[in-house]
Amino acid sequence: MHAFDVLGDPVRRRILELLAEGEQSSGAITQVVQAEFGISQPAVSQHLKVLRDNGFATVRPEGARRLYAVDDTALREADAWLSRFRRFWAPHLAAMATEVARGKRQRRLSGEQPQERTEGGRQGTDQPGTPHARKPRPGGG
């Protein structure tokens, strides 16, 4: 199976994201994947097997548990293939990094404090104790 065929499946990508955080037991992986994708334990095991067989994951026994980790072999191969295309996006990413740095520098020089962001990415304006917190109206409204 080609690396991008393996990575084309959202369940396998999610498993790799979990493994990127560190070694995980098959039980822990199964629990997360079942909750997020609603698939059976045997289906999760099949995805783990595909990752192992194609050089994306390693497994080692520890007592009764099986611990999985990222194997970077296939990822390095995919990265090597993608390297010929980096020239299409690298300048855009570099330009974006420059603009972010420029904005940070301008805020720092102007003494402006960065606005706190909420989980959804919006500016936190309703947070108690922040400069933009809503003040209670007289009469409770």
pLDDT digits (tens, 9 = 90+) for 44-59: 999 999 999 999 999 9
What is the DSSP secondary-structure string of 7-34?
A: HTSHHHHHHHHHHHTS-EEHHHHHHHHH
Determine, yes or no, domain membership for 37.
Answer: yes
pLDDT at 113: 66
Residues 67 and 89 grouped into a single domain:
no
Give the domain-ending residue among 12, 41, 71: 71
pLDDT digits (tens, 9 = 90+) for 82-135: 888 888 877 778 888 888 998 998 998 888 665 665 555 555 444 444 444 444
Closest by CA position to 55, among listed 8, 16, 14: 16
- Residue 57 gets the label, from left (phi > 0), alpha (psi -120 to 50) or beta, of beta
Determine, yes or no, domain membership for 136.
Answer: no
Domain limits for position 28: 3-71
CATH of residue 23: 1.10.10.10
Q: What are the backbone angles phi and psi of residue 21, rounded to the nearest 5°? A: -80, -15
Lowest mean pLDDT of 63-67, 70-74, 125-129, name the range.
125-129
| Domain tally, the chain | 2
Determine, yes or no, domain membership for 122.
Answer: no
Per-residue pLDDT, averaged over 57-83, amounts to: 93
Per-residue pLDDT, averaged over 50-71, amounts to: 96
Residues 63 and 7 grouped into a single domain:
yes
pLDDT at 93: 80
Residues 8 and 40 grouped into a single domain:
yes
What is the DSSP secondary-structure string of 74-85?
A: HHHHHHHHHGGG
Determine, yes or no, domain membership for 125.
Answer: no
Residues 9 and 32 grouped into a single domain:
yes
pLDDT digits (tens, 9 = 90+) for 9-45: 999 999 999 999 999 999 999 999 999 999 999 999 9
pTM here is 0.63
Residues 67 and 44 grouped into a single domain:
yes
Give the DSSP H or E segment for 59: strand 57-62
One-letter amino acid at 112 equals: E
Determine, yes or no, domain membership for 44.
Answer: yes
